[in-house]
């Protein structure tokens, strides 16, 4: 009863206007296109959401501490290429690395997350210790990683992956895709980290008031390095899973994922002004954004126009978030 007494419909609609409008669009498409709600389409949406949710979890930490991370997409692309070059079928005659053996899938995953975590840590060090704005630091890392990946992969798309690897993306248990299960487990781990550990407590404190957090004894620099390091780890996992799902690797994999993740997290209530955001909101934002993209495809909207609409949503989401912050002040 207390919930209904405290519930303010006008405030709810104001705070969630974009989410409501996007859901309404999805409902209209679902009514007009019955195949939109088919199990095959929903399964495809769920696997897409799973990978993007993992990316958005990494970005959310950066946003909560009043930062951002523009390097996410390129780090994902690097992870996908490393996975693809080292996990091709052993009997494939035209392997990218002729000397590559039949490596353990999870050993390669460990290698990838070590590489991407180091890249995330470098982002954190540049931001925390050299006071470079997150936008500039991660933009620079974006360009650097793209160059590294171009040298590593020679710009070639890589395929012929071993079944043990691709099965991670195509397999399921009780008709639930492995990708969904993996995303749920990672979401639960991050929820624990955000709400039950000093890591999360310090993260929200820094986002709320960095100076006050430092005075209270929070090691702001180390905390930021940890946040960006964990983001890098999550990007590595996402790149690994994206390669498995796509059946290959490419320097273009993950391109633009960081912008979608920022938009999805903002739609889900993660404030770009810092200190605010929940895992459940991140998931909701990713789900709504992915459903919106799928709905546009079902509506046969031109690909170029889809990009225009997605860009407008990103701008509107951030503008609404900033307006809410100004209104509070």
What are 102-129's pLDDT values in tens digits? 999 999 999 999 999 999 999 999 999 9
**Nearest residue to 145 via CA among 47, 257, 53:** 257
The DSSP bridge pattern shows strands 176-177 and 172-173 to be antiparallel
Q: How far apart are CA 309 and CA 316, in angstroms?
A: 10
Asked whether residue 83 carries a pLDDT value surpassing 60, the answer given is yes
Q: Is the pLDDT of residue 220 over 90?
A: yes
- Residue position matching structure tokens 């989410």: 19
Tokens of 2: 């207390």
Write the CA distances from 236 to 102, 160, 210, 254, 319, integer angstroms: 21, 21, 28, 11, 30
In this structure, what token pair is assigned to residue 297? 């495809």
Helix (H) or strand (E) holding 186: helix 178-196
Quickly count: other Cβ atoms within 10 Å of residue 126's Cβ: 20
Q: Is the pLDDT of residue 5 over 80?
A: no
How sure is the predictor about 203, in pLDDT bands with cuts at 50, 70 and 90?
Answer: very high
Higher pLDDT, 30 or 7: 30
Cα 269 from Cα 267, distance rounded (Å) = 6
User: Which one, of 169, 207, 164, lies nearest residue 61 by Cα?
Assistant: 207
Distance CA(234)–CA(53), nearest Å, equals 10
Average pLDDT over residues 264-270: 88
pLDDT at residue number 87: 97
pLDDT over 80 at 14, yes or no: no
Closest CA to 96 of 54, 169, 146, 152: 152
Per-residue confidence (pLDDT) for residue 11, from 0 to 100: 63
* 278, 151 contact by CB (below 8 A): no
Specify the residue for token string 């353990």. Answer: 104
Q: Compute the average pLDDT of residues 253-269.
A: 90
Q: Which of 226-235, 253-262, 316-325 has the highest mean pLDDT?
A: 226-235
Tokens 């498995």 appear where? 244
Structure token digits, residue 100: 């590559």
Residue 173 is classified by DSSP as: E
Q: What percent of the chain has pLDDT over 70?
A: 93
**Local confidence band at 311 (pLDDT 50, 70, 90 cut-offs):** confident
Is the pLDDT at 297 greater than 70? The verdict is yes
The arithmetic mean of pLDDT across residues 192-212, rounded, is 96
- What pLDDT is recorded for position 237? 98
2: pLDDT strictly greater than 60: no
The sign one gets for the Cα dihedral 273, 276, 280, 281 is negative
For a pLDDT cut of 90, what percent of the chain falls above it? 67
The most confident of 90-104, 116-130, 255-269, 313-327, by mean pLDDT = 116-130
* Burial label, 304 (beta-carbon count in 10 A; 0-12, 13-18, 19+): exposed
Whole-structure pTM value: 0.92
E strands of 195-247, at which residues? Answer: none
Check whether 132 has a pLDDT greater than 60.
yes
pLDDT in tens, 57-75: 999 999 999 999 999 999 9
What pLDDT, on a 0 to 100 scale, did the predictor assign at position 131? 95
pLDDT at 258: 94
Strand segments (E) across 163-204 = 172-173, 176-177
- Alpha carbon 313 to its chain centroid, in Å, reads 17
Helices (H) and strands (E) in the chain, counts: 15, 2
């Amino acid at each position: 009863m207390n919930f209904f007494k405290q519930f303010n419909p006008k405030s709810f609609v104001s705070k969630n206007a974009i989410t409501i409008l996007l859901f309404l669009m999805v409902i209209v498409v679902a009514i007009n296109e019955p195949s939109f709600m088919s199990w095959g389409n929903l399964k495809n949406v769920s696997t897409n959401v799973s990978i993007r949710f993992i990316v958005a979890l990494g970005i959310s930490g950066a946003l909560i501490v009043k930062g951002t991370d523009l390097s996410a997409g390129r780090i994902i692309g690097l992870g996908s290429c490393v996975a693809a070059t080292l996990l091709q079928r052993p009997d494939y005659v035209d392997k990218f690395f002729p000397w590559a053996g039949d490596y353990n899938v999870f050993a390669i995953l460990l290698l990838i997350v070590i590489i991407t975590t180091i890249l995330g840590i470098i982002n954190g060090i540049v931001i925390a210790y050299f006071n470079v704005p997150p936008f500039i630091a991660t933009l620079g890392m974006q360009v650097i990683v793209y160059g590294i990946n171009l040298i590593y992969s020679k710009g070639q798309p890589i395929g012929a992956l071993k079944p043990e690897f691709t099965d991670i993306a195509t397999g399921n248990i009780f008709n639930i895709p492995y990708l969904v299960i993996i995303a749920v487990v990672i979401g639960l781990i991050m929820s624990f980290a955000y709400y039950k550990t000093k890591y999360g407590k310090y993260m929200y404190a820094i986002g709320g008031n960095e100076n006050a957090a430092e005075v209270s004894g929070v090691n702001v620099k180390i905390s930021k390095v940890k946040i960006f390091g964990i983001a890098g780890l999550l990007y590595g996992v996402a790149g690994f899973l994206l390669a498995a799902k796509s059946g290959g690797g490419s320097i273009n994999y993950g391109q633009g994922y960081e912008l979608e993740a920022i938009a999805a997290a903002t739609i889900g209530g993660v404030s770009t002004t810092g200190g605010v955001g929940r895992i459940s909101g991140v998931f909701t934002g990713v789900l709504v954004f992915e459903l919106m993209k799928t709905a546009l495809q079902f509506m046969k909207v031109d690909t170029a126009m889809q990009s225009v609409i997605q860009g407008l949503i990103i701008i509107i989401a951030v503008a609404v978030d900033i307006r809410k912050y100004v209104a509070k002040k």
